[in-house]
């Protein structure tokens, strides 16, 4: 059921917020054990909140599930890590949670994720495995795999995810839902546990494009508590949603349609492009010449920022603390060794290396320069086209464990999504069909603060 139809039923009195929560809790109990999307949910707290909710608000009475790296007052926030799973409870609400509540929504449920959002499969969670609802032997994608799996399985009406290099769009594609990464600065990051601060962005994961527009409108906007938040008016994203694509130009970057793409994925993405053309859009071949450097650039910048952000997890203030340390250095070393999983350790080590004396200019400074070139590629493209269309991922969801010991293969699976984070652009994944029983999404990328037109094009793809 879409959020708008759900809102209508709540306002008419045919369903109640408390009844919705009971229904969801029942589905979580019956369906989620085989999927593993939820880490926890507090039905009593949600029903207490529902008792006084204002149904006249845009999301009045609607439960929204939350990826477990966003702070919700009084709830756990594990980030999928042993480091925070033992004794950390959020002492405050993230800005997006305050905005959800201001719009009448009820935060309900904590969703599994790759540890500290580092991964593309949700296999890096230290707490449990999450499976793809369309094929339980396959990954849901990551790092927002729990969010995607919950929405796809019907155990959540909608969810919030975070996207640092594709972590909303890629699991949305693999699970057959809509996932939107807003422009950098469009949605506050205050209260999001940081992975890479210049790349992270919170966004909606929903069943329909219309739901994504509604949810984005609720969480977007300036926040003085986030220094990277930009003070720009928030449009009514629903107002232009059905304006169509006649006269719009859609860019097809030749670098995104080369070797390595599953033939079925390519066919479905091109069918989506042709659908836009049939609706009146013009397809234009474009070039984003620095695309080949995006993966290498990302895996210098993101680990560098992660190594700095994760230094706060030291066993001193909160989270896991090693027992019986011999001295302060032993406390630091063993707390981090015991608390962090292998992928997090890998990225901390890589990030520390590229920031170290003698290597900073050779790696980190150079990566920042290439990042500028990637951003300029998009700026040039958006001078001639309204949006860019591409695959989200080269293949449908792979089998669980298939790349567990091949991190490079996992890194390359994000080849089509990383650039949007490096450039700060908005981007969305919209379902465009299936290869066998496995869903595939098409990616549409827009310019900075171009969400309204992006959603308009996405709606035309959705039909």
Query: Using 50, 70 and 90 to split pLDDT, how confident is the model at 27?
Result: very high
Tokens of residue 344, six digits: 């997090």
Q: Given a cut of 80, is residue 25 above it in pLDDT?
A: yes
Mean pLDDT within 6-22: 97
Tokens of residue 165, six digits: 């290099």
What's phi and psi for 235, nearest 5 deg?
-70, 165
d(Cα 57, Cα 61) in Å, to the nearest integer?
8
Q: Are 323 and 339 in contact (CB under 8 A)?
A: no
Q: Are strands 249-253 and 387-391 parallel, antiparallel or unpaired?
A: parallel
Q: Are strands 158-163 and 63-67 parallel, antiparallel or unpaired?
A: parallel
d(Cα 146, Cα 132) in Å, to the nearest integer?
9
Q: Compute the half-sphere exposure of residue 97: CA atoms within 13 Å on the CB side of its CA.
A: 23
Q: Given a cut of 90, is residue 371 above it in pLDDT?
A: yes
DSSP-assigned letter for residue 70: B
CB count in 10 Å sphere of residue 181: 33
286-300 pLDDT, tens digit per residue, is 999 999 999 999 999
Residue 409: predicted pLDDT: 82
- Alpha helix (H) ranges present in 310-365? 328-339, 342-355
305-350 pLDDT, tens digit per residue, is 999 999 999 999 889 999 999 999 999 999 999 999 999 999 999 9
Residue 413: predicted pLDDT: 87
Q: Given a cut of 90, is residue 353 above it in pLDDT?
A: yes
163-210 pLDDT, tens digit per residue, is 999 999 999 999 999 999 999 999 999 999 999 999 999 999 999 999
Mean pLDDT within 153-165: 98
d(Cα 190, Cα 441) in Å, to the nearest integer?
29
d(Cα 96, Cα 112) in Å, to the nearest integer?
18
Q: Given a cut of 90, is residue 404 above it in pLDDT?
A: no
Nearest-5° Cα angle at 97, 85 to 7: 120
Domain boundaries, the chain: 295-361
Mean pLDDT within 426-441: 98
Please report, for residues 37, 123, 124, 324, the alpha-carbon distance to residue 130 in angstroms, rounded to integers and kept in the order given: 6, 7, 10, 34
Q: Which residues are catalytic?
A: 67, 143, 167
The sign one gets for the Cα dihedral 129, 178, 191, 416 is positive
């Amino acid at each position: 059921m879409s959020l708008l139809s759900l809102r209508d039923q709540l306002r008419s009195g045919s369903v109640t917020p408390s009844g919705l929560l009971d229904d969801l809790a029942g589905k979580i109990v019956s369906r989620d054990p085989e999927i593993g999307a939820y880490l926890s949910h507090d039905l009593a707290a949600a029903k207490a909140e529902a008792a006084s909710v204002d149904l006249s608000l845009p999301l009045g009475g609607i439960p929204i599930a939350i990826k477990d790296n966003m702070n919700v007052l009084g709830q756990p926030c594990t980030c999928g890590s042993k480091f925070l799973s033992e004794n950390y409870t959020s002492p405050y609400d993230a800005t997006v949670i305050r905005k959800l509540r201001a719009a009448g929504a009820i935060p309900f449920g904590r969703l599994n994720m790759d540890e500290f959002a580092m991964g593309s499969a949700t296999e890096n969670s230290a707490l449990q495995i999450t499976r793809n609802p369309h094929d339980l032997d396959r990954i849901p994608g990551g790092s927002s795999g729990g969010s995607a799996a919950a929405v796809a399985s019907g155990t959540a009406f909608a969810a919030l995810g975070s996207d640092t290099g594709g972590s909303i769009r890629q699991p949305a594609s693999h699970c057959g839902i809509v996932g939107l990464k807003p422009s950098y600065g469009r949605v506050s990051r205050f209260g999001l546990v940081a992975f890479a601060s210049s790349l992270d962005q919170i966004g909606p994961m929903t069943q329909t494009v219309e739901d994504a527009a509604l949810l984005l409108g609720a969480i977007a906007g300036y926040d003085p508590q986030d220094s990277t938040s930009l003070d720009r008016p928030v449009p009514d994203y629903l107002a232009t949603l059905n304006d169509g694509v006649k006269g719009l130009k859609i860019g097809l970057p030749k670098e995104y349609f080369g070797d390595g793409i599953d033939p079925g994925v390519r066919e479905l993405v091109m069918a989506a492009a042709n659908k836009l053309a049939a609706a009146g859009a013009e397809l234009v071949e474009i070039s984003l010449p620095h695309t080949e450097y995006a993966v290498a650039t990302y895996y210098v910048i993101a680990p560098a920022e992660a190594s700095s952000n994760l230094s706060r997890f030291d066993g001193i203030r909160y989270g896991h603390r090693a027992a019986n340390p011999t001295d302060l250095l032993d406390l630091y070393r063993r707390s981090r060794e015991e608390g962090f999983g292998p992928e997090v350790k890998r990225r901390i080590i890589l990030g520390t290396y590229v920031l170290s004396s003698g290597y900073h200019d050779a790696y980190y400074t150079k990566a920042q320069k290439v990042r500028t070139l990637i951003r300029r590629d998009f700026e040039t493209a958006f001078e001639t086209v309204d949006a860019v269309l591409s695959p989200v991922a080269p293949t449908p969801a792979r089998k669980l464990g298939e790349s567990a010991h091949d991190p490079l293969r996992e890194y390359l699976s994000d080849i089509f999504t990383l650039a949007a984070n490096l450039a700060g652009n908005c981007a969305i994944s919209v379902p465009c069909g299936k290869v066998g029983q496995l869903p595939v999404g098409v990616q549409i990328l827009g310019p900075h603060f171009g969400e309204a037109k992006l959603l308009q094009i996405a709606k035309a793809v959705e039909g």
